[in-house]
Structure formats: C-alpha cells, structure tokens
Chain A
C-alpha cells in the first residue's frame, strides 16, 4: 500500500493546493506576494514540526539555518549578475544549512539517550552567535545594513512568478513530510520522542535518527531562506535573530507542532495576522502569548488538533495486504559465552558490584537471584552500557564490551527486557511489533520503503498465535493496554529481534498467576526455539524452578554460589543470606 493512499493523506494536501492556487486567481498578485513570505516562514516551521512534534527535541535557534540560506542565496544571486558561474553555488544555500544542522546534531546527541532542554539552550546560543557574526562581518554580510539589491531568480519576478515556485516548493515539502511520516522512519522518529532509551536497546542508533531529522529541518530552513533572498531583495541580520526563532516556535506550537499543515497554519495564520494587527491593536501580541501558554498547558497539539477527530474518521486503513518475509537473523554460534571478569561498579561512593566473576557458557535459561541490593539489575546495566565499570571486563562472544554504546551492544545480539515495561505509549501495538521486526534487520534505505512496513517473521506469527490480544489490540495505542498486557508486549518486543543473549529483568512483575504462567511458557518456548542464552532475574522461585537449568546467587555485588536450584536450596550459606539476615 503506497504511502499516499487514504483520504486522510491526499485530501488535506489537495485542499492546501487548491487554497494556494486560488489566492492569486481570486485575489491579486500583491496578496500572493505577501502570502509568499509567510509560506516561506511556514517551510521553516515545518522543519520545527519535524524535530519537535515528531522527534521530541526543540530547537530554539532555527532562524540560524533560515538566515544562512538567505545570506548564501543573496550573495550567489548578486554574484551571478557579474559571473554566471556563481549559479553553481546556489544549491549551497540549501545544502550548507542541512549539513551544518546534521553535523551539529551528530555531535550533540552522541552517547546520550535523551534530548533535554540543554540542547534547546545550545541552539539558542548558536542562533545568537550567528546573529552576532552576521551583524559584524560587514565585508561578507554587509553588516548591519545587510545585503541589498538582490536580483530576482531568472525568469521568476518576485511579484508574480516567484509565488508559483514557492507554492510548488511548499506542496513538495508538505508531501515529503507526510511521506516520511508514513514510512518506517516516521515510526522510528515518533518512538524516539516517546522512549529513546528503549529504542536504543533495539539496536537503533537514535543519534543518527535525530541527526537526520535535524538535517532535514536545516534543509527546509535553508531552502526557505534561499527563496527569501530573491523574494525580498534584502537580507539583514534579524533574519538569523532570536526574535524570528522565537516566533517560529510559537507558530509551530499554536498552529500544531505535529503536523506540516499545522506549521503552515501557524506561520500564515498567526504570523501574517501579527504583521497586520501588531501596529493597530497594541494588545495583539499579549493575546498571542496567552494563546501560546494555553497551548503548552492544555492543547499541546495546537490548532489542528481541534480537527483531529475529523481526521481520524477519514483514516480508513484497508486490511493488511500481502506479507513480505523479513531478512533472517544469524543463527546460533559456537562462541556464545558471557563472561564477567572482576567487574567492579561504584556509584556515589557505594560499591554496587564488587569483583564479580560470572561465566555463562551454556544455552537455555540461567537464573540470577539474590537479596535486595545484591546487584542483579546492576549487572544488566553494566552489561548494556548504562553503568560505567570501575574495574574488570565483560565479554560476550569473546568481544570486550567496554566503550560500546547501548545500541551497539544491542546490535551484537543482546536483548533486554526491562522490569517496568517501557513501551511507547502513543504508538499502536502493531507499530511496536513492526519496530521489533525492523530491529537489526532494517538498514539504511529499508527505512525509506513502504515495503518494510509489511515485514513478517515466523517467530512473529508464532507469538501472535500464542497471544491473541496482540492482534485484537493491534490498532490501539499501547498506553491503553493493561499492566499484564504491557509486560507481555515488552517481552515480545525483546524476543522478536531474535537476540542471542536475553536479559530478562523480572518479566512477571505485577502479573496475575494466570498471566505469569503464560509469560513463563512464552519464555520457555522462545528460548528453546531461538537456541539462545537467557539470564533471568526473578524473586519468584517457582518461576526460576520452572525455567532455569542453572542458577547463580548474587550477594553484596559478588557471586555467592552457582548450581541447580536444588543444590542451592541445600546450601546453608545461601539460606542464611536470605532468611537469617546475616551479612
């Protein structure tokens, strides 16, 4: 099913096209000229909608890319009056900001798993830096007075023909935005916004995903700026300034930050209105500020979210078409051994893991038990790069895992199920299963093909047969599932990428007796089918008894004993640790 199918996709786009075409036809050229400016601002705002509304990080200095595009375009156009060769440089007005944005995001997001407000402050500071440079570097930018006398693009005079180019670009950008949203990459972006940490554990390099989004937003900003120069004929430093950056964010918020149409609505609606009303009605901007606060407090979706119920009614998805077999994952290897050598982890002065030596060399389920504070979850955290090692080594398949990021470790076949289900609440169950199917199978261009949406694996079929609620609730947001269903979904998400090493942290926490039995059956079947190795942290010893062939007891950050459950039950030292309180 192509991405443009469905009236909820093409209808708004056609309405937009009709409206934009109608303006110079029904109105006049001057109206179109004014609208053109705000359409350009709308392009930049669409970039903000992409990063903020979809990916979950907010840039407060987006005008930097707009201004950069404007200055480069202006300089090139002025230069091309003397030398036609300058034309070759015009694409730089778009590519420059795009590459800059991409590079910035790569650098700033490396080795992190959240996009906190500090990123926003950095973009704010960068925007101000750009403004200072533009104001001071008079020899290149014309300083305070800017670049004036910028000629039209050849054949496109600004008061008439240029409008059509702008409309074309806006329609194209909107279509691209919607397309990307419907392709697998759009799902991944939304998952990044919801639970970036979890997405990394699937093996997705979330910093690259975010960098792509930011690069695209930079491209949109640069493109808008590139057209701004011939449109206005003059480029001055405020084009990079904080005032514009701030207004762009407000337009995105009030119009609708999660929709390209909302972004355009915000820019054209609020922006254009502000320009006219600002002079006449002195309290207009106070009202806009109040609207913005109301949006933040109550209506995060902005103006378009008011039309959301209508939208949803339009969205009629046809039944799932032909399944496409997904690429297979590598099978079992001979060297699947997990070794902890003298591992030491210290947090805030407290030694959590103390010279831990543990060797897991056989397939099947290994139990990991121990009293509270023994360090069980910490071993998982140390394994998956969430806790730094003070000493010692962790090896998997003979490879030292030191220095690898969580997603890199996941790509080496390590799957982790969290104790508290960390799913993506706003994404549907079906989208969860798709993401898990793509994990470590989808690379590069796969994420930009609609085909990838229909990948299926035999394991997924088996799991859906075992847990019918996955099919029944497939269209519902996962946030609506019950606690037990979420735990089971979380387990399924860990199994679908077919990991070689499964880290299961209290998979039955919070489940009823019946659900626990189901969960345990699923674990047993899956581990046997995948021929994988699993480490199971559990407090419920009946579960450990049922599943585990080998059990390891941790105490005060060290390995106390290993053996079968029966052997440990007969071990006095182990019993003392549990019931006697002896330390």
Chain B
C-alpha cells in the first residue's frame, strides 16, 4: 500500500490562484478529512491531487512515484481513484456500463459486496444513469470508485444528497477499506458523517491551511467553529 504526500501544492483557474501552499501526508490506513467553507479551495485541492487540474506550484507523490504533470488517467492507473462532487455519471449509458466501462473485464464480480450494501444499484443496472435521482447517482459513483480498491481514494462531498441509511453503509464501507490499508482524502461539509471516520484533518480558509493535524470525534466543537456563520 502506498502513502500520498503533497507539499506546497497550489493552483487555480486561468490566472487566478485559488489554493496556496497546502501540504499534508496520508499514510496507508488513514483518512484525511478536508473541511472549510465554500469557495476556500477544497474541490480545487482534490482536482490538483487527481490531476484534472494541473498544479501551479508544489508536488504530489504517490508512494515513490512523482505525479507532477501526469494527466488524470495516468494517475488513476497508478492507484489514485477519484469521486468528483458534480457530474458523477455518464447520463446516456446504463448503470452497468457506468460501473464497468473503464475496466478491461466487464464482469460485476467485484461489486458483489457493494450490491449487498446497496441493493438499489443492483435493481437499476439496466437503467440509463441520467434517469437516477441525485442520491442514486452518488451511490453509483461511490460504488464505482470504491470497487477500484485503489491504494488512495479521493472523495468530494460523498454524503451530499444521500439518504441517512445509505450514509451509514457508506461510512462502514470506507472504514472497512481503511482498515485493510487503503488511504482516503475526503472533502466534507457534513461533520456528523466525517468525524467518526477521520484520523487527520486539514482546515482550509481563503485558499490556505489554517489548521492541520490529527483529529477525531472529540474535536467536534472546535471544528464546527470553522464552518459556522
């Protein structure tokens, strides 16, 4: 299993630099939670790590591989799976195709466990993904990302729009994987979902880190302050 390291990471859109000098290290079996208000750069951070946005400064390492300049599809092959916040599925394709098209083997064997947790997915296999509800699309994307069983997985607001009972199952799924040695970076607004899962936290404000370090459910009060009005 590999660790994810990033140092001095900075980037933005066009000439606008949204994120400045962010560093952290995620060991195998660790969950790093990224929190902060809207517009502080959380999604930008995940895009920089995942490779859909090229960094202006800093480096990213996966194990002993340096990922700088690598396009997103190369990073995915190197072991970095991403679940974006929006536009999670391919609308014209069926759920089944959404789950299998990026792999050489088209079987659903690796989804057995996930289908047990989320029977809805199994029911909807033949439906075009565009017809699913927002929460169901999240589940499809979640299942697809976790089934990759990548060493490092990036999740951008996975809980948004998902029913409470499915939230518990998602959390259980992440925790199981974590205990098996996978590392996660999770951007979240929902502290109830995130806090039981994380070991480390990164709090962003105005594109910079204002707090970093280990954290757990006991730090709830302190962390909520960063999100309050």
Contacts and interface: CB of A to CB of B under 8 A. Distances in A.
Contact of B228 (A350, A372, A539, A575): A575
B84 interface: no
Contacts of B229: 369, 541, 565, 568-569, 574-575, 578
A580 B224 CA distance: 8
Interface in A490-511: 506, 509-510
A540 interface: yes
Contacts of B207: 510
Interface string B217-229: 0000000100111
B43 to A, nearest CB: 9
B17 A579 contact: no
Interface in A354-399: 369, 371-372
Contact of A579 (B14, B40, B227): B227
B61 interface: no
B191 interface: yes
A350 B188 CA distance: 22
B188 to A, nearest CB: 8
Nearest to A511: B206
Contacts of B14: 420
Contacts of A583: 161
Interface in A558-579: 565, 568-569, 574-575, 578-579
Given A420-B16, A509-B39, A539-B39, A580 B190 contact: yes
Given A574-B229, A575-B229, A581 B37 contact: no
A483 interface: yes
A565 B228 CA distance: 12
A580 B192 contact: yes
A486 B17 CA distance: 13
B100 to A, nearest CB: 26
A316 to B, nearest CB: 30
Given A506-B39, A539-B40, A575-B229, A581 B192 contact: yes
B193 interface: yes
Contacts of A540: 37, 206
Given A420-B16, A483-B16, A581 B228 contact: no
* Listed residue (B13, B17, B229) with the most chain A CB atoms within 10 angstroms of its CB: B229
A579 B191 contact: yes
A371 B38 contact: yes
B38 A372 contact: yes
B125 interface: no
B12 interface: yes
Nearest to A544: B229
Contacts of B15: 483, 486
B189 interface: yes
B228 A569 contact: yes
B51 to A, nearest CB: 22
A540 B14 CA distance: 22
Nearest to A539: B39
Contact of A510 (B12, B161, B189): B12
Contacts of B145: none
Contacts of B37: 539-540
Nearest to A571: B229
Nearest to B193: A581
A58 to B, nearest CB: 25
Interface string B196-229: 0000000000110000000000000000100111
B39 A578 contact: no
Contacts of A483: 15-17
Given A539-B38, A539-B39, A581-B159, A510 B17 contact: yes
B132 to A, nearest CB: 11
Contact of B190 (A541, A574, A581): A581
Contacts of B189: 371-372, 578-579, 581
24 contacts: A350-B134, A369-B229, A371-B189, A372-B38, A372-B189, A483-B15, A483-B17, A510-B16, A510-B17, A510-B18, A539-B37, A539-B39, A539-B40, A540-B206, A565-B229, A568-B229, A578-B227, A578-B228, A578-B229, A579-B228, A580-B190, A580-B192, A581-B159, A581-B191
Given A506-B39, A581-B190, 17 more contacts: A350-B134, A371-B38, A372-B38, A420-B16, A483-B15, A509-B16, A510-B12, A510-B18, A513-B206, A539-B38, A540-B206, A565-B229, A575-B229, A578-B227, A578-B229, A579-B191, A581-B191
Interface of B: 12-18, 37-40, 134, 159, 161, 188-193, 206-207, 224, 227-229
Interface of A: 350, 369, 371-372, 420, 483, 486, 506, 509-510, 513, 539-541, 565, 568-569, 574-575, 578-581, 583
A-B CB proximity, top 10 nearest = A581-B190, A579-B227, A539-B39, A372-B38, A579-B224, A539-B38, A510-B16, A539-B37, A483-B16, A569-B229
